[in-house]
Amino acid sequence: MRILVAMSGGVDSSVVAARLVEEGHEVVGATLQLYDSRESARKGACCAGRDIHDARRVADRLGIAHYVIDAERRFRDSVIETFADAYAEGETPVPCVACNQGVKFTDLLGMARDLGVDAMATGHYVRRIEGPQGVELHRPVDAGRDQSWFLFATTLQQLGFLRFPLGDMPDKDAVRAEAERFGLAVAGKPDSQDLCFIPDGSYARLVEKLRPQTSGAGEIVDLSGNVVGTHEGVARYTVGQSRRLGDATMQGGERQMVVGIEPGRRRVVIGPRTQGVTRELRLRNMNWLVEPPAQGLRCSVQIRAREAVRPATVRRTEDGASVLLDEAAVPAPGQACVMYDGTRVLGGGFIRRHDSAA
């Protein structure tokens, strides 16, 4: 096959390219430049400066063609600006989903088709399985590196074209061992971080710079609307958080957490950490990887990247989907709610704010 490999300059995608070359495929490498190369020297960055150099060096080692795509402006518009918008609206965004579905899968898949390749491979830790009714997306063998939650928005059409060679790898040590076997200079390179575009690691400072209305002190109130403290700016708080509550941390002998954000009123709402807030979720921007159920679908859902799944019933609606959890939780608007049947991803969407139909 002729395969385009999305090469970030890290060890994962480099091993993917090397394995495909070893298997006899005709491989082409492509790297996205996502932001100013001056920001890429810090630990955890990707897709700029040194990373592009590393990807090109791996391509030279493997004897494959390598292209660099300038996607800086599109990345800023589709990922960074929407990230800031979400915080300004009191939501907690998932920029990795926006990046995968924007510049990575959309732009790179477009390039792959323009080049006439048969498939595109990435270094993501998920499995693509040919099931009895078509292609399926599954969690990887290495549960500790599972990226299926971040890839729930991958469409069936995209999934048909994509390949994920690392999904069956037992762990990251095995991947690094492969890199050493292939003689790749990136074998010991540290992993990139989730918020790779934050220069100093402070997302709040970036949001406040781009959306000044999110900065400045405001009220912390309890579930009854009583003012119990002050906060440092709504951009510094997300639903489920217990930090930065100051004197409001303990109320009535119970530790508190953020259960809601009201950006228009510059208020942070808190409640007891020991109790869930709701069993009902409404989802937008649904992506189904199975036939949407006419009746309620019993499945497991994951409402945060690092949380365990929860049993729930999901129903399709005209504007997305509704989810009824078996037990109350504290969902964060803007986060993904992904549905699973065992290891298989059934689909997912983004959690809506309860006070908005947006």
Task: Indicate the pairing of strand 218-221 with strand 267-272.
Answer: parallel
Q: Is 123 labelled a binding residue?
A: yes
Q: Residue 31: which residues within 8 A CB-CB, separation 6 or more?
A: 6, 7, 8, 9, 47, 51, 52, 55, 56, 66, 67, 68, 69
Q: Is 250 labelled a binding residue?
A: no
Q: Is 271 labelled a binding residue?
A: no
Going through 139-182 in order, the beta strands assigned E by DSSP cover 162-163
Residue type, 63: G
Q: Is 148 labelled a binding residue?
A: no
The catalytically annotated residue of 46, 47, 96, 99 is 99
Alpha-carbon distance of 215 to 218, in angstroms, equals 9
Q: Is 51 labelled a binding residue?
A: no
Alpha-carbon distance of 120 to 1, in angstroms, equals 10
Alpha-carbon distance of 105 to 120, in angstroms, equals 9
Q: Is 276 labelled a binding residue?
A: no
CA distances from 16 to 170, 178, 313 (A): 15, 10, 37
Q: Is 283 labelled a binding residue?
A: no
Residue type, 147: Q
Count of CB atoms situated within 10 Å of the CB of 190: 10
CA distances from 157 to 105, 122, 213, 310, 347 (A): 11, 16, 40, 28, 14
Q: Is 90 labelled a binding residue?
A: no
The catalytically annotated residue of 46, 47, 96, 196 is 196
Alpha-carbon distance of 233 to 213, in angstroms, equals 9
Backbone angles phi, psi at 348, to 5 degrees: 175, 175
Find the largest Cα–Cα distance for the chain: 67
Backbone angles phi, psi at 56, to 5 degrees: -65, -40
Locus of tokens 């036939």:
291
Q: Is 32 labelled a binding residue?
A: yes
Active site residue 99: yes
CA distances from 92 to 185, 190, 305, 306 (A): 37, 26, 12, 14
Locus of tokens 């309620």:
296
Report the C-alpha dihedral over residues 246, 249, 253, 258, rounded to 10 degrees.
160
Q: Is 356 labelled a binding residue?
A: no
The annotation places the binding site for ATP at 6-13, 32, 123
The annotation places the binding site at 6-13, 32, 123
Q: Which residues are catalytic?
A: 99, 196
